Structure 1
């Protein structure tokens, strides 16, 4: 994995940096906004040290036929760049990099009573790509 950069996991939560939540806009029985999408990625030592560039694309889709107006998010970033939330896997040791970041999501971009998921794609300059789907979630 020394040259590899890949998307590892996406999941939604009702709180920033929280745990996976299948009803992220419901807190204490009440609908709230916003909710949060956690983004996790990994990069090899060589890719992180060389700040390999990539494009991250996040889209939302309905799995139940409802509609979403969530606008795709496109970010042009570099692996290993602390400004893009990359850190060494083990501080002080050159053994790879991990990314953990949070995207704030407006619940109003999703029709109530619908099931949705996010799809993320990370594409490198040589057109290799990795992709993941988030947990399926219900908007209250």
Structure 2
């Protein structure tokens, strides 16, 4: 990672009870669960973190099978600041890292269709980073 760069590394869904990628996050033991997590992993170069660089994170969802979703696009204005917005200084000028877990309402994803999330990070200086989640099925 270059000192003046920032990027989304990974976006994936998990069950609310677990932390690993899951392609059926709305189901557990054959039962529909009320919520699941969208995990967002990002990294920033040391200089942007030291300066507390501002960015906007956009998150949207879409059906990959032609269905509809009730998930409203999220917009979060944040800064790369250790201790805020889940950012952590990695020390020794190794940059910053972020792992965030966003609670998602399962009811926003009707059963029987497949979906994915798209996260886009945009800085005021024009850096853009996009990551697409795993495709998942709602039960």
- TM-score class normalised by the smaller sequence: over 0.9
Number of the residue aligned with 2:28 = 27
Number of the residue aligned with 1:37 = 38
1:101 aligns with 2:108: no
Deviation of the 1:79 alpha carbon: 1.1
Give the TM-score normalised by structure 1.
Answer: 0.94
99-108 or 72-81: which moved more?
Answer: 72-81
**Runs ≥4 residues deviating over 4 A:** none
Q: CA RMSD in A?
A: 1.2
Deviation of the 1:139 alpha carbon: 0.3
Deviation of the 1:81 alpha carbon: 3.7
* 8 Å Cα contact 1:5/1:79 also seen in 2: no
Number of the residue aligned with 1:134 = 133
Structure 2 CA distance for aligned equivalents of residues 17 and 126 of structure 1: 36
DSSP 3-state at the match of 1:83: coil
Structure 1 CA distance for aligned equivalents of residues 68 and 34 of structure 2: 17
* 8 Å Cα contact 2:5/2:127 also seen in 1: no
Deviation of the 1:13 alpha carbon: 0.4
Number of the residue aligned with 1:65 = 66
104-113 or 9-18: which moved more?
Answer: 9-18
Aligned length: 138
DSSP 3-state at the match of 1:60: strand
Gaps of 5+ in 1: none
Gaps of 5+ in 2: none
Structure 2 CA distance for aligned equivalents of residues 94 and 128 of structure 1: 21
Structure 1 CA distance for aligned equivalents of residues 93 and 126 of structure 2: 26
* 8 Å Cα contact 1:16/1:102 also seen in 2: no
Number of the residue aligned with 1:82 = 83
